[in-house]
């Protein structure tokens, strides 16, 4: 109704345009959501890259903490694995 009132379009063309817009709206919504998710992922990567460039200590601290946590997890698995899994030492795949 607004197209007909404020433009010189015929009623037939305005109805076609309205239906086309209504039909394409889910596709637009999907594209906008995907582009937002992509932007969000890229921003996180860029943020981490800039942090690594300007504060390298953060990256080294992160790697050191990650290795310590891995060691603690492996120690806990070795300690409690036999209590949780039957034949733990025979079925163990990863070796320290």
pLDDT tens digits for range 31-63: 888 888 888 778 777 877 777 788 778 778 888
Residues ≥6 apart with Cβ < 8 Å to 51: 58, 59
Asked if residue 74 belongs to a domain, the reply is yes
Q: Same domain, yes or no, for 39 and 59?
A: no
Percent of the chain residues topping a pLDDT of 90 = 9
- 94 — pLDDT class (breaks 50, 70, 90): low
Asked if residue 50 is part of any domain, the answer here is: no
Q: Does a structural domain hold residue 3?
A: yes
In a domain, 49, yes or no: no
Number of structural domains (the chain) is 2
* Model pLDDT, residue 90: 65
- The burial class, CB within 10 Å (0-12 / 13-18 / 19+), for 9 is middle
48 domain residue, yes or no: no
Residue 67 and residue 36 share a domain? no
- The pTM for the full model equals 0.39
Range of the domain at 74: 55-96
- Are 2 and 37 within one domain? yes
């Amino acid at each position: 109704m607004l197209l007909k009132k404020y433009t010189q379009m015929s009623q037939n063309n305005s109805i076609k345009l309205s239906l086309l817009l209504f039909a394409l709206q889910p596709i637009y919504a999907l594209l906008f959501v995907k582009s937002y998710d992509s932007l969000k992922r890229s921003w996180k990567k860029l943020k981490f890259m800039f942090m690594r460039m300007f504060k390298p200590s953060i990256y080294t601290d992160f790697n050191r903490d990650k290795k310590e946590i891995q060691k603690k997890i492996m120690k806990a698995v070795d300690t409690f694995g036999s209590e949780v899994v039957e034949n733990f030492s025979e079925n163990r795949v990863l070796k320290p």
